[in-house]
Chain A
C-alpha cells in the first residue's frame, strides 16, 4: 500500500512539472502605457497593440492616465511603457520593433 502511494506521488510529481511549465507559458503579459492622453501616448498605445498582434502573443494592454498612478512608476516623462512591471521606455514613442524586442523572450 505504501509502495503504491509512493509510486502515485512520484508519477504526480513527474507530470506536474510539465503542467507547471504549460501554465507559466500561458501567463498573460501585462503592458501599461502611461500618459495623460495626447497624440503621442495614443501613438504609443497603437504601436504596442500592433506589436503584440504581429508577434502573435497575448497581452493585457492598459492605458494609465491618472497622474498619481503614473508618478508611482518613477518616470521622468510620458509616454512610458511598462512590461510586466518593468519600465522599458520613457518620454518617447517606441517603435514596433523596439516593443517586439521587449515582449518576445
Chain B
C-alpha cells in the first residue's frame, strides 16, 4: 500500500464494488488484475464505507481514481458520496452489456472487456455511467 518513496507515484486508485453477483466479482477481479499489471492500485472501498479517516482522506486526496460498480444499484458510488469523496471517474459494468446473474464462474472475455473499459475511462476521465441494461434485481447480501 505504501511505496518506498513519498507520493502516490501517479497510481490510479481503483475502488471496486465486489458485490454478491457476477458483475460485482468481475469488478473486483478486473481491479485486482489491473493492479498486478501496474495500471493503478486497488484500494479499500470498505475502509471508506467504514469512515476510517485514512481511507477517506486518501480517496479525497488522490489525483486520479476510478470507482467501479457492478450494476446500477451503485453501491460504490453511494459509499463515496456518503463519505463526501468526489467521484472522479466512474464505470458501471452492466452498461457494458454484461448481464448480471449469480454465476461466479467469471468469463475471461468479460474480465478483459471490463479491464479495457476501465483503461479507457481513466484515459478519458469523465463520469462514464453507461446506459443500464439488465440487473434491476437486488442480489446483495
Contacts and interface: CB of A to CB of B under 8 A. Distances in A.
Interface of A: 35-36, 38-41, 67, 70-71, 73-80, 82, 85-92
Please classify how large the interface on chain B is, using the bins under 10, 10 to 19, 20 to 34, 35 or more. Answer: 20 to 34
Contact of A70 (B2, B7, B11): B2
B54 A80 contact: yes
Contacts of B3: 77-78
Interface string B6-17: 111101010000
A87 B58 CA distance: 9
Interface in B1-45: 1-9, 11, 13, 41, 43-44
Nearest to A75: B54
B80 to A, nearest CB: 14
Contact of B44 (A67, A73, A74, A85): A74
A38 B61 contact: no
A71 B52 contact: no
A60 to B, nearest CB: 19
A77 B52 contact: no
Contact of B2 (A36, A38, A85, A89): A36
Contact of A91 (B4, B44, B58): B58
Nearest to A35: B6
A75 B61 CA distance: 10
A40 B63 CA distance: 17
A91 B7 contact: yes
A77 B58 contact: yes
A5 B6 CA distance: 62
B134 interface: no
A77 B11 CA distance: 9
Contacts of A39: 6
A75 B47 contact: no
Choose among A36, A85, A87 the residue with the greatest number of B CB atoms under 10 Å from its CB.
A87
B31 to A, nearest CB: 14
A70 B9 CA distance: 16
B5 A74 contact: no
28 contacts: A38-B5, A38-B6, A39-B6, A40-B7, A71-B1, A73-B54, A74-B1, A74-B54, A74-B55, A74-B58, A75-B57, A76-B13, A76-B41, A76-B43, A76-B62, A77-B2, A77-B3, A77-B8, A77-B11, A78-B2, A79-B6, A82-B53, A86-B53, A87-B54, A89-B57, A90-B58, A91-B61, A91-B63
